[in-house]
Structure 1
Amino acid sequence: MSETCDVAHGKAEADPGVRTLVAVFASPVSRYLLTFARDLGYHVALFEPDAARATDVPDGIEADTTLPPLDGSADVVVTDHHRPELGEVLKAALGGNPRWVGVLGNPRHPGPHVTALRGLGVTDDDIARVHRPVGLNIGSRTPPEIAIATLAGLLADRNDRPGGFDF
């Protein structure tokens, strides 16, 4: 058996390197996103600037009211594009130089993050670093499906793969 098969069969540990997932805003999607990401070996964090909203958090994860330090190992997923602090949060995240930043939302509607970031003086180059939509196009609608699609897209991106069924 190959090393890849040993990992798939649980006979060897995968070594994906350091991977961090920061979910922004406590939401039903962030709950599943953090749970599944932890199962995939990510270091996980929840950033919720409003402590009163951090009511549905997975066991073993605490909501932080300050954005954790972000570096090239971090993927940041904003799970609610309706929050008034969207622009400020994204500007702070982009300033931390994470590997990847994305905002959930319907791709048929303009992303409110663009106007919010422009209003804060963020450059078009930095705005372009924010991915939207996020995840693989699998027709997800429920919070667990959205979390799976998002994580599958992040894994494909990290592994330089197209996602889907093309190998």
Structure 2
Amino acid sequence: MTERVLVAVFATPVASFLLRYGKDLGYTPVLFDPDGARATDVEGGFEAVSTVPDLGADADVVVTDHDRPELGEVLKAVLDRPARWVGVLGNPRHAGPHVVALQALDVPAAEIARVHRPVGLNIGSRTPPEIAIATLAGLLADRNGRPGGFEF
């Protein structure tokens, strides 16, 4: 079995829970924050890097802050790698700022379309732990080829 890698982008409370719960689900958790000073802000002793990690086809990448100014550059760098899944947290009722940021960097539409938004299952998540659980449930459903819901 291929090692599963979960990369949380940007040090946020959601990233902390994603990495913690992801480890329990068998992921190798990695925090990526281009601001090295922030990369240590997540508790749990996870690997923290300030440059884009090596992302193979076993990597699931979740951007946990869609308001960071470096969003476009970070996503462009991630999309240049063969990550299995890339997503950006955000409310589906609002336009995703990642689209405009990537278009400004001349990222092709097909690559922009690789970015999932919203991420996770629609369970009404509000708090960082709830958002992490919904996100991980969505990743597991996708990885296992399931729709994620109550129908079996």
**Structure 1 residues 16-165: aligned runs within 5 Å:** 17-165=2-150
The separation in 1 between residues aligned to 2:105 and 2:37, in whole angstroms, is 26
Contact 1:28 1:56 in 2 (8 A): no
Deviation of 1:51 after TM superposition, in Å, equals: 1.6
Deviation of 1:77 after TM superposition, in Å, equals: 0.2
The separation in 2 between residues aligned to 1:72 and 1:157, in whole angstroms, is 14
Deviation of 1:66 after TM superposition, in Å, equals: 0.7
Deviation of 1:166 after TM superposition, in Å, equals: 1.1
Kindly report structure 1 stretches of 4+ aligned residues shifted beyond 4 Å. Answer: none
RMSD of equivalent CA atoms: 1.0
- How many residue pairs get aligned? The number is 152
The C-alpha deviation readout for 1:28-55, integer Å capped at 9, x for no partner, is 0000000000011101100011022234
Letter in 2 for 1:114: V
Bigger drift between 91-100 and 53-62 goes to 53-62
Question: Which protein is bigger by CA-based radius of gyration?
Answer: 1
Contact 1:91 1:117 in 2 (8 A): yes
The separation in 1 between residues aligned to 2:47 and 2:147, in whole angstroms, is 33
Percent of residue pairs identical: 71
Gaps of 5+ in 2: none
TM-score (norm 1): 0.88
Letter in 2 for 1:146: I
The separation in 2 between residues aligned to 1:105 and 1:76, in whole angstroms, is 14
